[in-house]
Chain A
Amino acid sequence: MANVSETGMLDPRIFEDLQRKIDDDAETRDQLRAILQTIERQGRQTQSILSRAHSTPAAHLQPVLAAAEASIKEQVESIGKLSEIASKGPYYKYNGLWTRDVQNVIFAILLCGWLGGLAMEGEGEGKAAEAGKLLTIEEVGQILNVPVNLKDRDAFHITIEEYLQSLITLIEELARLAINSVTLGDYQRPLQISQFVKDVHAGFQILNLKNDSLRRRSDSIKYNVKKIEDVVYDLSLRNLVPRP
């Protein structure tokens, strides 16, 4: 048979080349997976630290934020390594491998930023930044030290879709925080969350989403908006917050 194929229909090099392509591909994937495993573990660590925000009054949040910032810093380093390996191949070829982990990192940054951590340059580092702010995709890129929304070249970056996905996760988390703030006796924060989430929701409403995962998840925002509104309603009904 081997003889036939040498003189016959197909050049054996064709399939040798194909095999090489497949093997190279597998190797790149293995490299990416190795680094992603680290990012995933660090991500869990960061989430666990940020979770303490649900049981910590806003006034005592500083140590939590400091710990979260340190943990995020570690992730930034890993993302740098990921970016290095990922930029060797076409971005969208392997994007599916890391997008979930990258979304988690972005979410951690957004949440930490919202809680008042991760003061951007110019705001005076070390001092607690104001809570309730939304880090833009550019600021997230700056923190992660990677480009965002690249169009002119093929390299690792953060996409708009990833940022929006993380933003939806942030809304879900804030809905939970609204309830837990009340438990902590903080009746102001739900109002702040309510306004913030409504503003973000209004933003999502002007997007023309197709029937993709982003649309399906953004459909859930309204339930979270309602959940938070219910908290505000409960509080105002009992005169626990000043009437607007």
Chain B
Amino acid sequence: MGEPSDDRPSPDSNLNGAKSNSKPGFKRKYENGPRDDKAKKPRRDVEASSSPFMPMFENFRDELDEHHDRRERVIKASRDITAASKKIIFALQRVRKLNSEIPESIAGEVLGRSKGMKAQFDTIAPDLTGLNAWRYQRQISGGIQEYMEAVSFEHYLRNQRLIPLEESSRLLPETIPLTGDDYVLGIFDLVGELMRFAITTIATTGSLPSSSPSETDENTVGSRDVLQDLRSLRASFQALDTTSCGGTGLGKDVEKKMEVMKACVEKVETAVYGLIVRGRERPKGWVPDLLDDRAPVTVESY
């Protein structure tokens, strides 16, 4: 309490004491007196100095500390990357037009966040090189999957195509591998985003988003709508045989995500069904009118 070194660092008296408390890897020095050693410490040190294995364990401690620090940095970055990706996805959900440039205001936000995300990846790149690339895979995987979801969604909105694995790693530093597992799991989540995009567009514009005919001649893409794309994704996912990795993470995750994915596609199918059934009676661009709405309408087939 009365110790001045607690809050006022005077370089000569406090440096060693303060450091040895906060940084376990720092060798303790006693030149400045053992006064920073609180009640319990001396006992441990007496015991410690008598053990012949101390140098070995000190070495282990330093190594493990490094490992835990790296691990924590990766976890933190992964969380930040996840958050940035989610925000990008939110911004992109405001896009209404498929297969065209993203409106400037949204593109600006996306670009800003992507830059932040790239910076995050760059900071942990040294922690994920060589041997360690796979060591912290479980920690970074969540962030990469979310990143995958954002990148593939953006790519889809621009080109109405599924981004290939090689292209999706363009924002990642070279040393960080994009694993097939993370790619697949990210694409599974993309289905959910496409569902939201389709449903929102149907609700606001009254039509299913599809590549506009005017652009079909510039692009090789024929006129397709989101539902067709969702169905081809679903078909590809269903063909994917993951039974061989039942024990590992991918097998379990795929099983769960497969159900969610199917439900998403069905939601869009139902929405399109509603659009066809009820849309029959109104011309394109029809805006609800209070008078018209009240008039009793019966569906023809009933």
Interface residues of A, Cβ cutoff 8 Å to B:
1, 4-5, 7-15, 17-19, 21-23, 25-26, 29, 90-93, 134, 136-137, 149-154, 160-161, 164, 198-200, 202-210
Contact A5 B235, beta carbon cutoff 8 Å: yes
CB contacts under 8 Å to A, within B17-66, are 24, 44, 47-48, 50-54, 56-58, 60-61, 63-65
Check A206/B235 contact, CB under 8 A, given A10-B162, A153-B130. Answer: no
Asked whether B160 is an interface residue with its Cβ less than 8 Å from the other chain, the reply is yes
Interface of B, helix, strand, loop or mixed by DSSP = helix
Check A26/B244 contact, CB under 8 A, given A9-B228, A160-B60. Answer: yes
Specify the chain B residue showing the minimal Cβ separation from A209.
B64
In the assembly, what is the distance between CA of A202 and CA of B47, in Å?
A: 7
Within the complex, what minimum Cβ distance (angstroms) separates B236 from chain A?
A: 5
In the assembly, what is the distance between CA of A216 and CA of B56, in Å?
A: 21
Contact B131 A153, beta carbon cutoff 8 Å: yes
Check A22/B52 contact, CB under 8 A, given A1-B235, A153-B130, A154-B130. Answer: no
Asked whether B161 is an interface residue with its Cβ less than 8 Å from the other chain, the reply is yes
B contact residues around A150 at 8 Å (CB): 131
6 contacts between A and B (CB under 8 A): A1-B231, A4-B231, A154-B133, A202-B47, A203-B54, A210-B68
* Residue from the list B24, B50, B53 in contact with A208, Cβ < 8 A: B24
Check A199/B184 contact, CB under 8 A, given A8-B229, A151-B131. Answer: no
Contact A205 B63, beta carbon cutoff 8 Å: no
In the assembly, what is the distance between CA of A124 and CA of B242, in Å?
A: 54
Sorted nearest first, the 9 A-B pairs with minimum C-beta distance are A26-B244, A203-B57, A92-B134, A10-B162, A21-B180, A9-B229, A199-B51, A202-B51, A90-B134
In the assembly, what is the distance between CA of A151 and CA of B20, in Å?
A: 26
Residue with the greatest number of chain B CB neighbours at <10 A, chosen from A25, A164, A209: A25
CB contacts under 8 Å to A, within B119-166, are 130-135, 137, 156, 160-162, 164-165
Check A10/B131 contact, CB under 8 A, given A136-B56, A208-B24. Answer: no
Range, interface on chain B: 35 or more
A contact residues around B58 at 8 Å (CB): 206
Within the complex, what minimum Cβ distance (angstroms) separates A215 from chain B?
A: 10
In the complex, besides A10-B236, A203-B51, 18 extra interface pairs with C-beta distance below 8 angstroms are A5-B235, A9-B229, A10-B162, A11-B162, A18-B180, A19-B239, A22-B240, A29-B245, A90-B134, A160-B63, A198-B51, A199-B52, A200-B53, A206-B24, A206-B44, A206-B58, A207-B60, A208-B24
A contact residues around B54 at 8 Å (CB): 202-203, 206
Contact A91 B134, beta carbon cutoff 8 Å: yes
* Residue from the list A11, A13, A22, A160 in contact with B244, Cβ < 8 A: A22
* Residue from the list B56, B60, B232, B245 in contact with A8, Cβ < 8 A: B232
B contact residues around A25 at 8 Å (CB): 244-245
Specify the chain A residue showing the minimal Cβ separation from B235.
A1
In the assembly, what is the distance between CA of A152 and CA of B51, in Å?
A: 31
Contact A93 B137, beta carbon cutoff 8 Å: yes
Residue with the greatest number of chain A CB neighbours at <10 A, chosen from B51, B58, B229: B51
A contact residues around B164 at 8 Å (CB): 11, 13-14
In the assembly, what is the distance between CA of A207 and CA of B48, in Å?
A: 12
Residue with the greatest number of chain A CB neighbours at <10 A, chosen from B131, B156, B235: B131
Contact A207 B64, beta carbon cutoff 8 Å: yes
Specify the chain A residue showing the minimal Cβ separation from B54.
A203
Contact B65 A208, beta carbon cutoff 8 Å: yes
In the assembly, what is the distance between CA of A160 and CA of B52, in Å?
A: 18
Contact B240 A18, beta carbon cutoff 8 Å: yes
B contact residues around A12 at 8 Å (CB): 236
A contact residues around B53 at 8 Å (CB): 134, 199-200, 202-203
Check A204/B57 contact, CB under 8 A, given A11-B162, A149-B63, A210-B68. Answer: yes
Specify the chain B residue showing the minimal Cβ separation from A96.
B248
Asked whether B275 is an interface residue with its Cβ less than 8 Å from the other chain, the reply is no
Specify the chain B residue showing the minimal Cβ separation from A20.
B180
A contact residues around B61 at 8 Å (CB): 206-208
In the assembly, what is the distance between CA of A201 and CA of B232, in Å?
A: 60
* Residue from the list B63, B130, B232 in contact with A152, Cβ < 8 A: B130
Contact B222 A7, beta carbon cutoff 8 Å: yes
Check A10/B233 contact, CB under 8 A, given A206-B48, A206-B58, A208-B64. Answer: yes
In the assembly, what is the distance between CA of A5 and CA of B239, in Å?
A: 13
A contact residues around B220 at 8 Å (CB): 7
In the assembly, what is the distance between CA of A199 and CA of B135, in Å?
A: 31
In the assembly, what is the distance between CA of A207 and CA of B165, in Å?
A: 41
* Residue from the list B65, B229, B239 in contact with A15, Cβ < 8 A: B239
In the assembly, what is the distance between CA of A208 and CA of B58, in Å?
A: 10
